Structure 1
Amino acid sequence: MSAQIGWADWLVIGLYLVGLILLSLYLSRSQHSREDYYVGNHGIGPWAIAISTMATQCSTSSILGAPAFVAFAAGGGLVWLQYELAVPLAMVAIMVFLFPAFYRLRVISVYEYLEKRFDLKTRLILSGLFQLVRAFATAVTVYGISLVIELITGLSFFWSVLLIGAITLVYDVLGGIRAVIYSDVLQMLILVVVLAGLLALLVAELGGISTVFAALPAERLQSLDFAASGLGDGQTFAFWPMLIGGFFLYVSYYGCDQSQVQRELCAQSLNDGRKALFLNGLLRFPFVLLYCLLGVAVAAFASAHPGFVEALPKDGASPNYNLAVPLMMTQLLPTGLVGLAMVALFAAAMSSLDSVINSLSATTMEDFIRRFHRGAWSERTELNLSRLTTLCWGAVTLTFAFFVGRIADTVLEAINIIGSLINGPVLAVFALGLLTRRANGNGAVAGLLAGFGLNLYCWIALPALSWLWWNAFGFGCCFAVGYLVSLLSQRPHLEHGLFWRSQSQQQSDQYWKKGYLLLALWAGVILLVAWALEQYA
Structure 2
Amino acid sequence: MELFDWIVLIGTLTFIVGYGYWKTQGSKSVEDYILGGKKAQWWTIGLSVMATQASAITFLSTPGQAFHDGMGFVQFYFGQPFAMVFICLIFIPIYHKLKVYTAYEFLENRFDLKTRSLASILFLIQRGLGAGITIYAPAIILSAVLGWDLKTLNIMIGIMVIIYTVSGGTNAVSVTQKQQMFVIMVGMFSAFFLVMSYLPSDINFSKALKIAGANDKLNILDFSFDTKSRYTFWSGITGGFFLALAYFGTDQSQVQRYLSGRSVRESQLGLIFNGLLKVPMQFFILLVGVMVFVFYQYQHSPLNFNPAAEAAIENSAFQEDYEALEEKHRQLEVKKKIAQEHYSAVLDVKDYEMIVSAKNRIQAINQAERANREEAKALISKADPTVETNDKDYVFIHFILNNIPTGLIGLLLAVIFSAAMSSTASELNALGTITTMDLYKRNQKKEHDQLHYLKASRWFTLLWGIIAILFASFASLIDNLIQLVNIIGSIFYGNVLGIFLIAFFIPYIRKNAVFFAGVVTQVVVIGIYYFAIHIYDTGDEKLGYLWLNFIGCALVILISLLFETLGRSGKALKS
Q: Same fold (TM over 0.5)?
A: yes
AA partner of residue 13 (structure 2):
L
CA distance in 2, matches of 1:96, 1:189: 29
**1:352 corresponding residue in structure 2:** 423
CA distance in 2, matches of 1:430, 1:266: 21
Q: Does 1:51 align with 2:129?
A: no
Q: Does 1:222 align with 2:219?
A: yes
Offset of residue 460 of structure 1: 2.6
Q: Does 1:342 align with 2:413?
A: yes
1:174 to 161, 167, 191: 167
Could you list the per-position Cα deviations for residues 323-344 of structure 1 after superposition, in whole angstroms to 9, with x for gaps in the alignment?
Answer: 2212211222222221111111
Offset of residue 152 of structure 1: 5.0
**1:208 corresponding residue in structure 2:** 204
**2:505 corresponding residue in structure 1:** 435
Residues 135 and 397 of structure 1 are in contact (CA less than 8 Å); yes or no, is this contact kept in structure 2?
yes
Question: SS of the counterpart of 2:297?
Answer: helix
Residues 230 and 464 of structure 1 are in contact (CA less than 8 Å); yes or no, is this contact kept in structure 2?
no
CA distance in 2, matches of 1:309, 1:50: 41
Residues 35 and 259 of structure 2 are in contact (CA less than 8 Å); yes or no, is this contact kept in structure 1?
yes
Aligned length: 480
Could you list the per-position Cα deviations for residues 55-96 of structure 1 after superposition, in whole angstroms to 9, with x for gaps in the alignment?
Answer: 111211211121111112xxx321122222211101111111
- Can you give the 5+ residue segments of structure 2 that lack an aligned partner in the other structure? 310-386, 533-540, 570-575
Residues 230 and 237 of structure 1 are in contact (CA less than 8 Å); yes or no, is this contact kept in structure 2?
no
Question: SS of the counterpart of 1:220?
Answer: coil
2:291 to 297, 301, 317: 297
Residues 442 and 489 of structure 1 are in contact (CA less than 8 Å); yes or no, is this contact kept in structure 2?
no
CA distance in 1, matches of 2:308, 2:209: 27
CA distance in 1, matches of 2:43, 2:109: 31
Question: SS of the counterpart of 1:465?
Answer: coil
1:402 to 473, 476, 501: 473
CA distance in 2, matches of 1:109, 1:165: 24
Residues 9 and 336 of structure 1 are in contact (CA less than 8 Å); yes or no, is this contact kept in structure 2?
yes
CA distance in 2, matches of 1:7, 1:376: 55
**1:271 corresponding residue in structure 2:** 265
Deviates more, 1:124-133 or 1:373-382: 373-382
AA partner of residue 281 (structure 1):
G
Larger Rg: 2
**2:330 corresponding residue in structure 1:** none
AA partner of residue 9 (structure 1):
D
AA partner of residue 366 (structure 1):
M
Q: Does 1:364 align with 2:358?
A: no
Residues 192 and 287 of structure 1 are in contact (CA less than 8 Å); yes or no, is this contact kept in structure 2?
no
1:61 to 46, 57, 62: 57
Offset of residue 366 of structure 1: 0.1
**2:342 corresponding residue in structure 1:** none
Offset of residue 119 of structure 1: 0.5
Residues 50 and 276 of structure 1 are in contact (CA less than 8 Å); yes or no, is this contact kept in structure 2?
yes
Residues 17 and 176 of structure 2 are in contact (CA less than 8 Å); yes or no, is this contact kept in structure 1?
no
Offset of residue 414 of structure 1: 0.6
Residues 21 and 168 of structure 2 are in contact (CA less than 8 Å); yes or no, is this contact kept in structure 1?
yes
Give RMSD over aligned pairs. Answer: 1.8
**1:253 corresponding residue in structure 2:** 247
Q: Does 1:98 align with 2:60?
A: no
Q: Rate the CA distance shift 1:161–1:55 in 2: closer, same or farther, 3 A.
A: same
CA distance in 1, matches of 2:72, 2:464: 36
2:237 to 235, 240, 243: 243
Deviates more, 1:437-446 or 1:426-435: 437-446
1:417-436 matches, cutoff 5 A: 417-436=487-506
**2:515 corresponding residue in structure 1:** 445
| Percent sequence identity over aligned pairs | 30
**2:320 corresponding residue in structure 1:** none
Q: Does 1:162 align with 2:155?
A: yes
- Can you give the 5+ residue segments of structure 1 that lack an aligned partner in the other structure? 492-537
TM-score with structure 2 length normalisation? 0.80
Residues 147 and 157 of structure 1 are in contact (CA less than 8 Å); yes or no, is this contact kept in structure 2?
yes
CA distance in 1, matches of 2:399, 2:249: 36
TM-score with structure 1 length normalisation? 0.86
Residues 41 and 261 of structure 2 are in contact (CA less than 8 Å); yes or no, is this contact kept in structure 1?
yes
Offset of residue 419 of structure 1: 0.8
Offset of residue 24 of structure 1: 2.8
Q: Rate the CA distance shift 1:487–1:400 in 2: closer, same or farther, 3 A.
A: same
**2:397 corresponding residue in structure 1:** 326
1:373 to 433, 441, 444: 444
AA partner of residue 563 (structure 2):
V
Could you list the per-position Cα deviations for residues 250-281 of structure 1 after superposition, in whole angstroms to 9, with x for gaps in the alignment?
Answer: 00000010000011100011111111111111
1:37 to 33, 42, 63: 33
**1:494 corresponding residue in structure 2:** none
Residues 130 and 257 of structure 1 are in contact (CA less than 8 Å); yes or no, is this contact kept in structure 2?
yes
1:285 to 279, 286, 295: 279
**2:315 corresponding residue in structure 1:** none
AA partner of residue 260 (structure 2):
C
CA distance in 1, matches of 2:90, 2:412: 40
**2:545 corresponding residue in structure 1:** 467
Offset of residue 311 of structure 1: 4.8
Residues 43 and 267 of structure 1 are in contact (CA less than 8 Å); yes or no, is this contact kept in structure 2?
yes
Question: SS of the counterpart of 1:221?
Answer: coil
CA distance in 1, matches of 2:422, 2:247: 16
